[in-house]
Amino acid sequence: MQIEWVNWISVFMALIATASTIITYAVYRSSTDPEVIVYADTDKKRPSIIILIIENIGKGPAENISFKTSRSLPEKAFSIEEPRNMPNTMSTGPIINGIPFLAPNQKIILTWGQYGGLKKYIGGNSIVVTAQYGRANAKFWFNQLSSSSKLSVEAFYQTDISDLNWDRKISETLIKTNEQLQNIDKAIKKLGSEEI
């Protein structure tokens, strides 16, 4: 009877040690693995433009990144209203050709199109993009990773497309202010020369 308890305690301790090892390994992997995602967003500096972003949101660098899509993607689908003609199919670029290396938090941003053009091509469905990649400098084959993202343009219906390019607005205001100051300076100099 005493021996049975000792055996059960040994088995229980072995399970705890195994679980602890698995948890430690999972925490280690989550703090060192890359995670490459693809998503669409509005361009904050160009009104009405929708961009496609490829980003490594993981903690480690990714290499040899390739993409598979559930169906082809459009490119240069520019039209605010739904156009008559179908936009072109994406035939070049990082999603087609792949990316050799992506550092943590690094982004690649593609100008994708506008709501009408993208809606014409994609419709109300979403496109699944699967990224396949490896951990940079990995020594083993099982370090191949993948992640899936869904692209949909329906979310951009009636979104704010106002011009938020404050850098450009400030620059234009400064140029106008400078022109006004130059005109005032010329007027003052003209008045000064007339008094003499």
pLDDT of residue 164: 57
The pLDDT tens digits for 173-189 are 878 888 888 888 888 88
How many whole angstroms separate alpha carbon 141 and alpha carbon 134?
9
Parallel, antiparallel, or unpaired: how do β-strands 127-135 and 49-56 relate? unpaired
So where are the chain's domains?
Answer: 1-32, 33-161, 165-196
In 3-state terms the chain splits into helix, strand, coil percentages (rounded to 5) of 40, 30, 30
The pLDDT tens digits for 45-54 are 888 899 999 9
pLDDT of residue 166: 65
Collect the ranges in the chain with pLDDT lower than 50.
none
Global model pTM greater than 0.85? no
pLDDT of residue 2: 60
Q: Where are the alpha helices (DSSP H) in the chain?
A: 2-32, 94-97, 115-122, 166-195
How many whole angstroms separate alpha carbon 104 and alpha carbon 31?
11
Q: Domain 33-161 classified CATH 2.60.40?
A: yes
pLDDT of residue 165: 59
